[in-house]
Structure 1
Amino acid sequence: MAEPALIELDRVGLRYGAHTALREVSLAVARGERIALVGANGSGKSSLLRVLHGLLAPSAGRRAQRDAGLRIAMLFQRPFLLRLSVRANLRLGLWLHGVHGAAAAARCAEALQRVGLQAEARRPARALSGGQQQRLALARAWALRPDVLLLDEPTASLDPTAKREVEALLAEFAKQGLTLIVASHNLGQVKRLASRVIYLEHGRVLADVPAARFFDGHAGLPREAQLFVRGELPW
């Protein structure tokens, strides 16, 4: 890695009571990477995202980040939107992060333009379609100028058109240098968006490889990962 990792995990474990969600996970995230987390339900993808963000502290091991000012945003599968207008949802997020006045207005307008929701600015956010709500959630995260954007199944409940719109936004953000870490069951989406794939099973990282290697021939991958990418393991 040419420069220090933005985020690094060293033998991280995570427990919820008697349940172990992550086991001995070690990885480093470099600036500008496009990482996909894949694996069956319960493999630890969402837990790993939360530890990478800092929402959950490891039960064992160590999480470190390059500097305390690293800006990290997270987009959940079902974004939480307040009973306010589209614009107000954006402005509130900025206000909570100390961006006020003219600066907030400018960022809000730019973010709405970026995701194609300028015409919906006055509408109640919860009246938007599922795809529009996800685009609003992306705008809210993008407006915070994050260094790293974490996404948990960002298109799982969307129709094909909305999925394409969200994927296009993510691809555009990646081109701007934003570091993306996406948990996804959609292997087609992973193939289109990711440069690196991390395969988890029962809380362990069994493969951490370039996306091309994960999908093309599977040489050297653990048998579980080979079966998974061929669709022969359950989700």
Structure 2
Amino acid sequence: MNNIPQNVSQNASFVATNPLLPLRADDISFAPDGLALLDKVSLQIAEGGVSMILGPNGAGKSILMRILHGLIPASAGTVTWRGQTANRETRRRQAMVFQKPVLLRRSVAANLDHALNAAGVPRAERNQRTTDALQEADIAHLAARPARVLSGGEQQRLALARALSLRPDVLFLDEPTASLDPASTAAIEALMLAAERRGCKIVMISHDIHQARRLASDIIFMDRGRIAEHSAATAFFDTPSSAAARDYLAGRLHLPDGT
């Protein structure tokens, strides 16, 4: 088990409050058509902070996140939320935002209302949650505009605002700031950190080392379908324990076997 280090996850003064965590994956494999993309991945994700998944392209980061979130089934292994397998309640209490926002062909406000309605939130509460989420994301002035005509940064803020309006206990983010300008990136990061301070656990994929240094409490480093190491962010950046991580941080190309 690649557990998060003692000093991050097991602080004696830390009081558990997140109803979904710890999240555990045990011997997760994913091998569509016999091609092993994940190979017996095990980890534990604890409360607090931002758990950042790093690794080269093709390492299996997005596949692992989709399995944890429940979007695709693993070929083998188990995922448990506080000791329980996924059920309707655990799925309802988590959300995910993708690198390319998936938006409906309707207004900005209607995108949020649709998600809240699907989650069973009463209409009166939906209106207030929509207003609050758009204000926090600084896109309230765009409420009536068609979502798909927004800029890339505005679309990503909308996608994140929609996810946060559901008040998830765990939020998965798959490269949410890829290709965004610095101002849009800063806005997304501010929304993330505000949610984390409210108790929402953030699990995020990024290729931006500087972003990982800014945000991460712990690093899950993947290489060739496995977790090469899982450690506190400071330890990972100062003294990475695996050769693959040292190559990655040094910018050296780490080629797959046989290439």
Tell me the secondary structure at the aligned position of residue 20 of structure 1. Answer: coil
Tell me the secondary structure at the aligned position of residue 209 of structure 1. Answer: strand
2:146 counterpart of 1:130: no
- 1:59 aligned to 65, 75, 95, which one? 75
Match of 2:78, as an amino acid?
A: R
Question: Equivalent residues in 2 for 1:131-210 (5 A)?
Answer: 131-210=153-232
- Post-superposition offset of 1:133: 0.4
**For residues 22 and 54 of structure 1, do their structure 2 counterparts lie closer, same or farther at Cα, with a shift above 3 Å needed?**
same
For 1:61-104, what per-residue CA distance to the aligned partner results, in whole angstroms no more than 9, with x for missing partners?
11111254231101010011111110000000101111131010
- Post-superposition offset of 1:177: 1.6
Match of 1:200, as an amino acid?
A: M
Tell me the secondary structure at the aligned position of residue 165 of structure 1. Answer: helix
- 1:222 aligned to 242, 245, 250, which one? 242
**Unmatched 5+ stretches in structure 1:** none
- 2:235 aligned to 192, 207, 213, which one? 213
For 1:143-187, what per-residue CA distance to the aligned partner results, in whole angstroms no more than 9, with x for missing partners?
001000001111112112211111121122112221011111001
Match of 2:97, as an amino acid?
A: L
Tell me the secondary structure at the aligned position of residue 203 of structure 2. Answer: strand
What is the match of residue 3 of structure 2? none
- 2:52 aligned to 27, 33, 36, which one? 36
Match of 2:172, as an amino acid?
A: L
TM-score, L = length of structure 2: 0.86
- Post-superposition offset of 1:234: 5.4
Match of 1:196, as an amino acid?
A: D
Match of 2:64, as an amino acid?
A: L
2:253 counterpart of 1:233: yes
What is the match of residue 95 of structure 1? 117
Please, which moves more after superposition, 15-24 or 65-74? 65-74
- Post-superposition offset of 1:40: 0.7
For 1:15-37, what per-residue CA distance to the aligned partner results, in whole angstroms no more than 9, with x for missing partners?
12132111111111222241111
What is the match of residue 115 of structure 1? 137
What is the match of residue 4 of structure 2? none
**In structure 1, what is the Cα distance between the partners aligned to 2:249 and 2:208?**
11
TM-score, L = length of structure 1: 0.94
**Unmatched 5+ stretches in structure 2:** 1-8, 11-15
- 1:46 aligned to 62, 68, 72, which one? 62
Tell me the secondary structure at the aligned position of residue 8 of structure 1. Answer: strand
Asked whether the equivalents of residues 247 and 254 of structure 2 are also in contact (C-alpha less than 8 Å), the reply is: no
Please, which moves more after superposition, 142-151 or 60-69? 60-69
- Post-superposition offset of 1:57: 1.4
Q: How many residues end up aligned between the 2 structures?
A: 233
**In structure 2, what is the Cα distance between the partners aligned to 1:32 and 1:52?**
17
Q: Give structure 1 regions of 4+ aligned residues with deviation exceeding 6 angstroms.
A: none
Asked whether the equivalents of residues 244 and 254 of structure 2 are also in contact (C-alpha less than 8 Å), the reply is: no
